[in-house]
Structure 1
């Protein structure tokens, strides 16, 4: 196994800083935040897909602010409309960067996507050095998946969810990772959307005012 997966790296450090500094909106979310931190404390490889039975993932709700709509993907494995996102990759330097990369890849929107900065906060690294402000998550969500295939045991995604804004008149293009890709109004989310996505959309709408 690649030794990179077993040493605390920039992404692992960023995740700990983000989750340590994030003010959760309610007690349930704060309990999840603490569970995520416990996971990272116990697992230096906790950011990677190879970490079992759980690993951190990053996702993004892409929002067209002017038109009041969100971009959702019909996930081929889950069969439901979800926000964009997935596993962290070695090139990701932060959770926000991972979420933005996933949003860019899965939306087909080539430029102009931005992680919503309204809840950004500064942090410090383990040496006490001040770090630049980084966007904070909107929500956390823990769910069981079979990301290695339907014939493989379930594992757990510890998802860190961000809000990403799209440029005016952004044109989305479906990728091979999706059965369908569509814009939906905040008040017209599709039937095959679970409660977690609806809550994420509600929180994003509130943040955007």
Structure 2
């Protein structure tokens, strides 16, 4: 019987897809040129840029040291209300958002996709300039970090939300009277999101 030898790939791990490479390049360019909205956001931006030196792998949830995610604070057309979801897993009110997907090409696009999927609202518009970056521990891969890049997203007049499978409830709230229990880091999105809305006017 002939000897059996293990076959190894001399080229190493597979190359990233064009989509993964594009999303990674967008994240690096976006954060490199971003003026942070707070000292904490500046520190999180710098740590996220350091994470991104790992390459496109840092955009996916399988990267245990941490991975980039995208989320959105949705405002109504007047800025009088923000849309939050009661997260089904950790039972806190939080902005919409989540992991990047293979079809995403930009972080702003990922945030818009997540907001659309989780709110059921058609016609949302994303401001392409981030309003915050936040790093927090999560249970992915038995313990990891989300490097969450956050955006302001604007709903059209008369928008009607629809609860998705990922949340227990959706609700509109005045920016100065957010519900409890509230996820850490959500309240800090209100001021820069309202500033983004004013820039659109």
**Structure 1 length-normalised TM:** 0.83
Which of 107, 132, 153 does residue 95 from structure 1 map onto? 107
**1:58 counterpart SS class:** strand
The whole-number CA distance in structure 1 between the counterparts of 2:18 and 2:84 is 34
- The structure whose Rg is larger is 2
Equivalent residues of 1:7, 1:44 under 8 A apart: no
Compared with structure 1, are the counterparts of its residues 10 and 43 closer, same or farther at alpha carbon in structure 2 (3 Å cutoff)?
A: closer
Q: Which whole-Å deviations, capped at 9, do the CAs of 1:172-191 have from their partners, x for residues lacking one?
A: 00001111111111122102
The whole-number CA distance in structure 1 between the counterparts of 2:76 and 2:14 is 39
Task: Tell me the residue number matched to 1:178.
Answer: 167
Task: Tell me the residue number matched to 1:124.
Answer: none
Q: Which whole-Å deviations, capped at 9, do the CAs of 1:105-138 have from their partners, x for residues lacking one?
A: 00001x210012xxxxxxxxxxxxxxxxxx1100
The whole-number CA distance in structure 2 between the counterparts of 1:179 and 1:29 is 29
Structure 2 spans left out of the alignment, 5+ residues: 1-12
The whole-number CA distance in structure 2 between the counterparts of 1:6 and 1:171 is 36
Structure 1 spans left out of the alignment, 5+ residues: 117-134
Task: Tell me the residue number matched to 1:48.
Answer: 60
Equivalent residues of 2:16, 2:56 under 8 A apart: no
The whole-number CA distance in structure 2 between the counterparts of 1:7 and 1:177 is 25
**1:60 counterpart SS class:** strand
The whole-number CA distance in structure 2 between the counterparts of 1:40 and 1:24 is 17
**1:10 counterpart SS class:** helix
- Say yes or no: does 1:81 pair with 2:81: no
The whole-number CA distance in structure 1 between the counterparts of 2:19 and 2:84 is 34
In the TM superposition, what are the counterparts of 1:1-209 in structure 2 within 5 Å? Answer: 3-4=15-16, 9-66=21-78, 68-109=80-121, 111-116=122-127, 135-147=128-140, 153-209=142-198
The whole-number CA distance in structure 2 between the counterparts of 1:101 and 1:19 is 20
Range with greater deviation from structure 2 (28-37 or 162-171): 28-37
* Structural RMSD (CA): 2.0
The runs of at least 4 consecutive aligned structure 1 residues that moved more than 4 Å come to: 5-8
Equivalent residues of 1:5, 1:45 under 8 A apart: no
- What is the deviation of 1:147? 3.6
